[in-house]
């Protein structure tokens, strides 16, 4: 099915629903696809006999499986739209299907624009999920211009060559030694920021929607975020009571890391609490007024994206090690959730 600027294989979903005779199907999708909801539901109602129910809790990534409790209302199949699955995660209790929303916007014009800015000959290519299907065409374009492009195989959290997540840049780090610089394809600033901090090599970011090529802006954004992170670390230096946030979303659970951090804090004579939550937001944690600093082991975006909205500093596990003097600012790196 083609809808606006995406191709989504709802035909495949309909075939599976009919073959397995699923009766009640939950649709889970990220905010960006919510506007197209009526078309998705209409399509499935036309092509299947299943009753469709919207799983409306926010869904930020493939780490976020639909609630098992949906079984209690008769859901026997879940379709998560907009994400590739995370292969290393165990399957959800309810049979499910991940359907990506492949962007139809042609990425080649903006890549062409970026060619003069690429640094070196050997270029690593990475993309967000919506654009990974364009990587082979981009590689060909670069070869035609005498570059040596390559894309990396990520770890077991990554489904497709060259794909990066906001929490996982292993498709880039796996080829780090073999490339001079990286070309990032996607929109927004968080993914290229994480990439810059993970690879510490030049990154040119191209946005297929706005047709922008970002280099200087990316560096400026990186500097601003690093200043914020430095500030968060400085504000946490005198903290005595820490709240270690443990995400309950299936692909964000890092309880072993949380235990390790708690032990580290105890050894440094600091008090700490493990705090489990499904969805974090500044309003969810602001009532913990006795906590001086939160350490998030859940999605790495939590500490970075909404930093200014938290009254209490919120830091990543690596930043905690800097606070405690176990690591130095020179060791700073971006928090990632990697498969074991």
Could you list the residues that contact ligand SF4 (CB under 6 A)? Answer: 60-63, 165-167, 251-252, 299, 301, 337
**Which lies closer to ligand SF4 via its Cβ, residue 168 or residue 236?**
168
Smallest gap from Cβ 127 to ligand SF4, in A, equals 15
Smallest gap from Cβ 299 to ligand SF4, in A, equals 3
Distances (CA, A) of 91 to 23, 88, 262, 278: 20, 9, 29, 18
Q: 244 φ, ψ to 5°? A: -95, 110
Which residue from 100, 105, 83, 101 is spatially nearest to 209, judged by alpha carbons? 105
Smallest gap from Cβ 326 to ligand SF4, in A, equals 24
Q: Which two tokens stand for residue 185?
A: 């394809």
Distance between CA 116 and CA 112 in Å, rounded?
Answer: 8
Distance between CA 265 and CA 257 in Å, rounded?
Answer: 12
Smallest gap from Cβ 158 to ligand SF4, in A, equals 10
**Which lies closer to ligand SF4 via its Cβ, residue 179 or residue 185?**
185
Smallest gap from Cβ 76 to ligand SF4, in A, equals 25
**Which lies closer to ligand SF4 via its Cβ, residue 75 or residue 337?**
337
Smallest gap from Cβ 14 to ligand SF4, in A, equals 26
Question: Residue 225 belongs to what H/E stretch?
Answer: helix 216-236
Distances (CA, A) of 40 to 53, 74, 100, 212: 11, 20, 13, 31
Smallest gap from Cβ 277 to ligand SF4, in A, equals 14
Pairing of the two strands 203-207 and 212-214? antiparallel
Smallest gap from Cβ 63 to ligand SF4, in A, equals 3
**Which lies closer to ligand SF4 via its Cβ, residue 174 or residue 336?**
336
Q: Quickly list DSSP for 30-59.
A: -GGGGGGHHHHHHHHHHH---EEEEE-S--
**Which lies closer to ligand SF4 via its Cβ, residue 48 or residue 173?**
173
**Which lies closer to ligand SF4 via its Cβ, residue 61 or residue 186?**
61
Distance between CA 33 and CA 53 in Å, rounded?
Answer: 16
Residue the block writes with tokens 């309880």: 255
In the DSSP assignment, the letter for residue 132 is G
**Which lies closer to ligand SF4 via its Cβ, residue 21 or residue 91?**
91
**Which lies closer to ligand SF4 via its Cβ, residue 207 or residue 335?**
335
Closest-by-Cβ residue to ligand SF4 is 61
- Over its C-alpha atoms, the chain yields an Rg (Å, rounded) of 21
Q: Which residues contact 228 (CB under 8 A, 6 or more apart)?
A: 307, 308
Asked if 10 contacts 44 with a C-beta cutoff of 8 angstroms, the reply is yes
Smallest gap from Cβ 64 to ligand SF4, in A, equals 6
**Which lies closer to ligand SF4 via its Cβ, residue 123 or residue 196?**
196
Asked if 98 contacts 115 with a C-beta cutoff of 8 angstroms, the reply is no
């Amino acid at each position: 099915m083609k809808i606006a600027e995406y191709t989504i294989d709802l035909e495949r979903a309909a075939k599976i629903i009919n073959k397995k005779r699923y009766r009640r199907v939950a649709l889970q999708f990220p905010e960006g696809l919510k506007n197209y909801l009526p078309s998705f539901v209409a399509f499935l109602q036309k092509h299947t006999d299943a009753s469709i129910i919207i799983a409306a809790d926010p869904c930020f990534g493939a780490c976020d499986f639909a609630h098992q409790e949906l079984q209690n209302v008769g859901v026997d199949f879940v379709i998560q739209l907009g994400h590739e699955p995370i292969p290393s995660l165990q399957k959800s209790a309810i049979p499910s299907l991940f359907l990506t929303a492949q962007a139809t916007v042609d990425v080649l014009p903006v890549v062409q624009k970026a060619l003069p800015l690429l640094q070196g000959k050997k270029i690593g290519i990475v993309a967000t999920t919506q654009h990974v299907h364009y990587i082979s065409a981009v590689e060909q374009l670069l070869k035609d211009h005498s570059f040596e492009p390559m894309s990396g195989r990520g770890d077991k959290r990554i489904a497709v060559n060259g794909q990066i997540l906001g929490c996982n840049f292993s498709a880039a780090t796996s080829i780090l030694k073999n490339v001079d610089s990286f070309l990032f394809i996607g929109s927004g600033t968080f993914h290229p920021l994480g990439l810059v901090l993970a690879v510490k090599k030049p990154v040119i970011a191209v946005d297929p929607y706005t047709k922008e090529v970002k280099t200087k802006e990316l560096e400026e954004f990186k500097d601003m975020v690093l200043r914020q992170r430095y500030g968060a670390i400085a504000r946490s230096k005198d903290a005595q009571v820490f709240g270690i946030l443990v995400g309950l979303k299936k692909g964000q659970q890092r309880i072993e890391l949380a235990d390790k951090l708690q032990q580290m804090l105890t050894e440094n004579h600091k008090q700490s609490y493990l705090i489990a939550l499904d969805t974090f937001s500044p309003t969810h944690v602001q009532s913990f007024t006795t906590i001086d600093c939160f350490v998030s082991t859940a999605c790495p975006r939590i500490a970075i994206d909404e930093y200014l909205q938290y009254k209490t500093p919120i830091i990543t596990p690596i930043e905690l090690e800097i606070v405690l003097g176990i690591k130095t600012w020179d060791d700073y790196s971006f928090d990632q959730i990697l498969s074991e």
